[in-house]
Structures are given as C-alpha cells and as structure tokens.
Amino acid sequence: LPDAPVFNRLALIGVGLIGSSVARIAQARGDIAGEVVANARTEDTLARVRELGIAHRTEIDPRAAVAGADCVMLCAPVGAYAALAEAIGPHLAAGCIVTDVGSTKQSVIRDVAPHIPAGVHFIPAHPVAGTEYSGPDSGFTTLFEGRYTLITPLPDADTDAVARVTTLWQRCGAMVECMDPAHHDRSMAIVSHLPHLLAFTICGTADDLEDESRRDVLRYAASGFRDFTRIAASDPVMWRDVFLNNREALLEMLARFTEDAQAMARAVRWGDAAYIEDKVERGRKIRRSLLELNQA
Ligand code: NAP
C-alpha cells in the first residue's frame, strides 16, 4: 500500500512540461496528493489535460483552482507569477502551502511573497530538470529522477511546510537541497541561463550569415552546432522571463564569459597553443566529472 498522500488537494497553476510531469507522477504514485486540480491560461491546454487524464479536475479560473487546496504549485513562466499571486492570494485556504517551480528565485520571492496572506506558507522551489519541449504533452514521470530540486526557504519559513515540500519532491525522485535564493540565482546563471543565452545567440549569428554559409550550417550541423540548436529550441516566453528576472546574475556571468572569450581570441590570434590546449582540457575534465556524478 502506498504511504498517505503528502497533500489532500494539489492545485497546479500551469500544466506544461513541469506541471504535467508532477501531475503524471502524482497520478502514477498515489502518495503525493489525494486530488490534483489543473489550471492553465488557455482552455485548449485544459482540454488536452482532460484527454490525457492526468488531473482529477481542471479549472480555467486560478481562483477556483486554488480554493480548498492545501498545496498550490505555481508552474507557469515566472513573468506571470506576480499577477497570478495577486489573483489567488485572497482565495488561499488557511494553512495552505504555496510553492513554485520557477527557474529564478529572488524575483519569485519579490513577486509572490507580498500576496501571501497570514496563515499561508510560501516555500519557493526549483526542480533543476527539464527538456527543450513544452506543453502538457511534453511531461513524463521520470523527469526529476536523480536530479536536484533546490528549495530556497525564507528565514521565517515553517519547518513542517519545508518538510512537506521536500517529501513531495523526494517522491518525484529528486534529491532535495536548501539554499539561499541569491546563491541559487548565481549558480543557475552559470549552469543554465548563460548556456541558453549562448545557444540562442549562436543560432542567431548562424542565421544571419549569407545564404551559402547558412546552407552549410544546416548540412554540416553534426559538427557541433546541432547541440546548441537543441537548447535553442526551448520555449521563448519561459526564457524571456528567466533572462529578465535574473538580470544581475546573468549579466555578471556574461561579463566574465566575455572576458574569457576575449582571452581565447587573443590566444588564437597570437598562436598561444598551450593556452588553447589547457582550456580544451579543462572542458573535458568538467564533462568527465559530470559523467561520474551521473548528471550527464
Ligand atoms: P510550459 O511547458 O511552457 O508550460 C507553461 C504552463 O503555464 C502552461 O500550462 C501555460 O498555459 C501556463 N501559463 C502560462 N501563462 C500563464 C498564466 N498567466 N496563468 C496561468 N497559467 C499560465 O513551461 P514549463 O517548461 O513547464 O515551465 C514552467 C515553469 O517551470 C517556469 O517558471 C520555468 O522557469 C520553470 N522550469 C522550467 C524548466 C524547463 O526546462 N522547461 C526547468 C525547471 C523549471 P497555456 O498552455 O494555456 O498557455
């Protein structure tokens, strides 16, 4: 028999890649929530959720979706959080836990915390797992397995609420760690946000080439470009919101990167073979470490 569910009623505000993966896991395991209510921006998405049968109920109005829920998980793009939190705030049940999956944490705290009424717990979180696909069809039950979920509790966070959010993610297969929101945003700027920025930029650079070179980019993509295009296939709204909501940390990492890229350019210009070889060797080492940690 499965353990008792962590929550009686889980309301998912957004059922794309991340929200629909949580819904699928909740449905498959039975020990996450007794009832799952799904909300999205459009009726089309909710109709698809009903066809897929991954929620007990769908609600197009977020206020109706959160009514009576003991856990509300924001799974929409982070730029939508402020308006969503303002809308649902007055409709949250006493004792409810509001959590989220947003890729930025300081902006989420800034946008959501002011709308959380007394007696409701706000526990920000970020599952560090994803793919380049989006929408309710893209979710799957093993998305979070062996991946980290980072929780960034506020200083006065209720320990029982943190423990319940931790249990939810552990039952989703994740390894859970708590950290400071500023630390989270800096780490994500280098491991996720900057790589996406580089991928979007390099695809744009290639696309701006004159006709013949652009054709070659597509024909010979297997030589490295292809790996950038996978990342660059990600959802434009989600990534627009991430860049705009982690501005300081992203700009800092981009400035560091630009300096290092200039140093590499200098080595190429002056034929500094040792410098180039050393950089390539460091890249290989990082890849090997990832493989050893089972994160590749
Ligand atoms: P997604 O597949 O594009 O799904 C977004 C969902 O949010 C859709 O159901 C969408 O509804 C809904 N939505 C959009 N605007 C809304 C609004 N104003 N009110 C209510 N619902 C709204 O996105 P995702 O990849 O699951 O990302 C969701 C969150 O997870 C983001 O905050 C992102 O930063 C975070 N995250 C993403 C990844 C990743 O790799 N993708 C990884 C970790 C965390 P419609 O379909 O009706 O438009």
Taking only the tens place, the pLDDT of each residue in 23-80 is 999 999 999 999 999 999 999 999 999 999 999 999 999 999 999 999 999 999 999 9
Write down the pLDDT at residue 211: 87
Instruction: Calculate how far, in angstroms, residue 276's C-alpha sits from the geometric centre of ligand 1.
Output: 40
**Mean pLDDT per 10-residue section of the chain, whose length is 296 residues:** 91 98 97 98 98 98 98 98 98 98 98 98 97 97 97 97 98 98 98 97 93 89 90 95 98 98 98 97 94 87
- Given ligand 1 and candidates 48, 73, 75, which is best to mutate, with the most ligand atoms within 8 Å of its CB? 75
Structure tokens at 291: 């493989």
Structure tokens at 29: 């395991």
- Given ligand 1 and candidates 12, 13, 18, which is best to mutate, with the most ligand atoms within 8 Å of its CB? 18
Among protein residues, the one whose CA lies closest to atom 41 of ligand 1? 130
CB of 102 within 6 A of ligand 1: the answer is yes
Give Cα separations from 177 to 70, 126, 143 (angstroms).
23, 10, 17
CB of 41 within 6 A of ligand 1: the answer is yes
Question: Which ligand 1 atom minimizes the distance to the CA of 83?
Answer: 18
Structure tokens at 16: 């794309």
Give the HSE-up count for residue 228: Cα atoms under 13 Å, Cβ half-sphere: 18
Helix (H), strand (E) at residue 127: strand 125-127
- Given ligand 1 and candidates 52, 238, 243, which is best to mutate, with the most ligand atoms within 8 Å of its CB? 238
Give Cα separations from 28 to 23, 142, 167, 244, 282 (angstroms).
9, 11, 16, 36, 42
Instruction: Calculate how far, in angstroms, residue 77's C-alpha sits from the geometric centre of ligand 1.
Output: 5
Instruction: Calculate how far, in angstroms, residue 78's C-alpha sits from the geometric centre of ligand 1.
Output: 8
Instruction: Calculate how far, in angstroms, residue 76's C-alpha sits from the geometric centre of ligand 1.
Output: 4
Question: Which ligand 1 atom minimizes the distance to the CA of 18?
Answer: 26
- Signed CA dihedral, 283, 285, 286, 288: sign only: positive
Instruction: Calculate how far, in angstroms, residue 237's C-alpha sits from the geometric centre of ligand 1.
Output: 9
Question: pTM for the complete prediction?
Answer: 0.96
DSSP E strands, 47-96: 57-58, 71-74
For residues 181 and 293, give the distance between their C-alpha atoms in angstroms, rounded to a whole number.
24
Question: Which ligand 1 atom minimizes the distance to the CA of 103?
Answer: 34
Among protein residues, the one whose CA lies closest to atom 42 of ligand 1? 130
Sole residue written with tokens 């909740």: 26
Give the HSE-up count for residue 78: Cα atoms under 13 Å, Cβ half-sphere: 23
Instruction: Calculate how far, in angstroms, residue 16's C-alpha sits from the geometric centre of ligand 1.
Output: 5
CB of 249 within 6 A of ligand 1: the answer is no
Write down the pLDDT at residue 296: 81
